[in-house]
Amino acid sequence: MVAMPEWMICVQWPGSRPERAFLGTGTVTVAVGGKLEAGKAAPGAVVSSESFGGYEVLADLARSVGLEAACEVVSPPGHIHLNRPNLIVLAGPRLLPFINQVLEADRNLGFLNDQHGWYLVDKNTGTQYRSAIDRGDPGDYAYVGRLPRPDGKGTFLYLAGIHAPGNLGAAHYIADNLAELHRELKTRRFSMLISCQFDPADRKKILSTDRLTPLYRHHGP
């Protein structure tokens, strides 16, 4: 786990590229779900090294297209302010429970949980995606989409693995496919599921990412 301050800002000024619009129009805030640090009288919020690695991937991506990037750790119990521009949320509903209510706007994909843990589902086909990590294997699944803000005045990007390596895998998928995603979607709402494989000796090393489902386009802007 990585101990984090409440916020951290990374700034760089490279030339801009048109696909930056997929991420935002100003400073991109990456909100990462945190847990309370164990074994301390006054515990602070910490994030997994894989999730923080996901922030670093997204921050590097933002800087590469001419944007600034800021990291915000969302402390338990996971209350997050979604009604703001240029927001990327990087955490599953296990850490950010309110997100599951927003995910109900997605008629195609979503998170569910049962006695075996959290998993992702394609509502159109009924296909369930349960993480390979739960079987002891080096792979995970993640949700990637653009969801409506609760105030109805915009959207935010949402990246969430079933486990922390999925957060990192989702960030890598966006970084590796930004130009194509912008060309296909611009800033319209969408969702898809991706898979990722990581090095079993180093969970911060993503070996591959692949899209599993159709690129579902949602109604609305």
The total of other beta-carbon atoms located within 10 Å of residue 38's CB is: 8
pLDDT digit string, tens, across residues 125-161: 999 999 999 999 999 999 999 999 999 999 999 999 9
**Residue 7 pLDDT more than 70?**
no
Q: What's residue 8's pLDDT?
A: 40
**Residue 4 pLDDT more than 70?**
no
Residue 77 preceded by cis peptide, ω within 30: yes
Distance CA 121, CA 125 (A): 8
**Residue 9 pLDDT more than 70?**
no
Distance CA 64, CA 56 (A): 12
The domain tally of the chain equals 1
- For the whole prediction, is pTM greater than 0.85? yes
Categorize the per-residue pLDDT at 11 as very low, low, confident or very high, splitting at 50, 70 and 90: very low
Report residue 60 as tokens.
Answer: 């590097």
Range of the domain at 69: 2-217
Q: What's residue 52's pLDDT?
A: 97
